[in-house]
Amino acid sequence: MSSMAKQTQQQQRTGLLQGTLDMLILRTLLYGPAHGHQIGKHIQRTTNEFLQMQHGSLYPALHRLEERGWVVSKWETAPDRNREFKYYRLTDKGKKQLVVEESQWKQMAEAVARVMWPAAEES
């Protein structure tokens, strides 16, 4: 595969992620506290491996969310392994943010859908 083609594919996958990664993380944490690895794995699995989790985006995003007070972190021992991991937990502020981002995303998706599949709406 030429390097050009590879790059394009990568952009396709992650381009979607750019604006919405924060939202996906917050949504994932709605199930309960999780550490970075779990969050990444979860997003990857749920999207059937379509969203390859880039660690280079995940960790900065986690710390950005923490900086804004949407999540808090704590070192805790994992139930299945006898080791400490850094667990992120959704705050009340984060829950509100998730609602806001979700509704924005919905509006966006609907707007895009109206342009893309006008017939579908008529029927």
The amino acid at residue 96 is K
- Residue of 20, 63, 72, 105 interacting with other proteins (CB under 8 A): 63
Q: Does 13 bind other proteins (CB under 8 A)?
A: no
* Number of chain residues interacting with other proteins (CB under 8 A): 17
Residue 75 beta carbon to other proteins: minimum distance, rounded to whole angstroms: 8
Q: Out of 36, 71, 94, 101, name the contact with other proteins by CB under 8 A.
A: 36
User: Per CB under 8 A, which of residues 94..113 are in contact with other proteins?
Assistant: none
Residue holding tokens 């709406």? 121
